Amino acid sequence: MILTVATRSGQGQNSGFTRARCYKPCAMSSAAAVTSGPVRIDVVDLCDRYDGFLLDAYGVLIDGHGALPGAAEFLAELARRGRPYLIVTNDASRRRETNAARLRGFGLDVAPEQILSSGHLIAPYFAAHGLAGARCFVLGTDDSRSLVAEAGGLVCDIDPAGVYDAVVACDDAGFPFLEGLNAALSAVFRAFDEGRAPHLVLPNPDLVYPAGGGNYGFTSGAIALLLEDALARRYPDRRPVFTRLGKPYRPLFDEAARRLSGKLVMIGDQLETDIAGARAAGIDAALLLTGVTRRPEPSGAADEVVPTYILDRLAD
Ligand SMILES: [Mg+2]
């Protein structure tokens, strides 16, 4: 069941948002929302309730073509209110400087230090596993390869006959797709056949993303699933899997909580990554319906992921 929240009247009247209708006094706390089911809310009420904002990129602020409706106005409103925010994205195809420049090109005023991406989890992983100088097979862009190199990895050419210490699946773009996947498959099969166990690293666990114009695309999480399924068939007793770094896992949320103070909320478009990860980290989460996940129906399952809020759109 989705509850409709009653919101305060008059809030945000002088803000960058304009209300199309009047709102009733707020009568429900976010704690009640967690126990009762998701509460439908609007962006003005979210701005009133929280001190800091964690924002997914694809499906929330942008798609593959540009900024989504209301995104620029929402960021401007957060700035006007002095509410800090971070773009918490699984995108491992761009360094934060590249990402910020791209967002600014879409009309979104974002600085590099406001971007927290899964690509920046590669370095801590490499450090924790002693991978300095490791020979790396990178599926991704030039920026992906740069992130792996900065983490200490030795980025090698894609070669089905190559010998690698790590396979890092960052993105679906930036390499010859089928040739790259086949080379990764061949190299990984050979490694396990020879008794080696290369690190399999997946910064971006997303399966799909909104490509714009009503179209969707597969991304690195889907690539990892393909390789894992092939590995499970060849090594059914071992079933090697990728280590997933980005949302829904904790590191990005913990880092965001370290950088921002006060009461935080995550706004995301994917239930399994943005919402599940935030809720597991103890952060309220608003599911925005402009991206991948459609309006969820309650399943009653014990492990059901329940957003704190349902947000129909950023544009008010
Ligand atoms: Mg998204």
Stretch 44-51: mean pLDDT, rounded?
Answer: 93
Distance in Å, CA 210 to ligand 1 centroid: 8
∠ CA 17-308-260, rounded to 5°: 70
Note whether 3-90+261-311 and 120-244 share their fold: yes
pTM of the model: 0.83
Residue 39: pLDDT above 80?
Answer: yes
Distance in Å, CA 294 to ligand 1 centroid: 12
Distance in Å, CA 165 to ligand 1 centroid: 30
Least confident of 18-27, 72-81, 247-256, 299-308: 18-27
- How confident is the model at residue 300, as a pLDDT? 73
Distance in Å, CA 252 to ligand 1 centroid: 14
Residue 166: pLDDT above 80?
Answer: yes
Residue 282: pLDDT above 80?
Answer: yes
Distance in Å, CA 236 to ligand 1 centroid: 33
The CATH number of the domain covering residues in 120-244: 3.40.50.1000
Distance in Å, CA 103 to ligand 1 centroid: 15
Distance in Å, CA 310 to ligand 1 centroid: 15
Distance in Å, CA 124 to ligand 1 centroid: 23
Give percent of the chain with pLDDT exceeding 70. 88
The top-scoring range by mean pLDDT among 10-19, 30-39, 208-217, 274-283 is: 274-283
Distance in Å, CA 60 to ligand 1 centroid: 6
Residue 272: pLDDT above 70?
Answer: yes
Distance in Å, CA 76 to ligand 1 centroid: 20
Distance in Å, CA 267 to ligand 1 centroid: 9
Distance in Å, CA 275 to ligand 1 centroid: 10
Distance in Å, CA 9 to ligand 1 centroid: 31
Average pLDDT of the chain is 87
Residue 5: pLDDT above 60?
Answer: no
Distance in Å, CA 12 to ligand 1 centroid: 27
The CATH number of the domain covering residues in 3-90+261-311: 3.40.50.1000
Distance in Å, CA 57 to ligand 1 centroid: 6
Distance in Å, CA 215 to ligand 1 centroid: 14
Residue 23: pLDDT above 50?
Answer: no
d(CA 176, CA 180): 6
Cβ partners under 8 Å of residue 189, min gap 6: 230, 231, 234
Cβ partners under 8 Å of residue 252, min gap 6: 88, 116, 118, 121, 246, 277
Residue 101: pLDDT above 60?
Answer: yes
Distance in Å, CA 89 to ligand 1 centroid: 7
Nearest one of 5, 61, 6 to 38, comparing CA atoms: 5
The 10s digit of each residue's pLDDT in 124-137 is 999 999 999 999 99
d(CA 253, CA 236): 34
Cβ partners under 8 Å of residue 293, min gap 6: 269, 270, 271, 272, 275, 287
∠ CA 223-142-216, rounded to 5°: 40
The 10s digit of each residue's pLDDT in 108-125 is 999 999 999 999 999 999
Beta strand residue intervals within the chain, DSSP E? 3-4, 39-41, 52-55, 85-89, 115-117, 135-139, 154-155, 166-169, 199-202, 208-212, 215-218, 243-244, 264-268, 284-288, 309-311
- How confident is the model at residue 36, as a pLDDT? 63
Distance in Å, CA 172 to ligand 1 centroid: 15
The 10s digit of each residue's pLDDT in 181-225 is 999 999 999 999 999 999 999 999 999 988 888 899 999 999 999
Distance in Å, CA 134 to ligand 1 centroid: 31
- How confident is the model at residue 27, as a pLDDT? 35
Question: 257 pLDDT band (50/70/90 cuts)?
Answer: very high
Distance in Å, CA 63 to ligand 1 centroid: 9
Domain-by-domain residue ranges, the chain? 3-90+261-311, 120-244
d(CA 265, CA 49): 9
Burial track 45-80 (b if 16+ CB lie within 10 A, e otherwise): bbbebbebbbbbbbbbbbbeeebbebbbbbbebbee
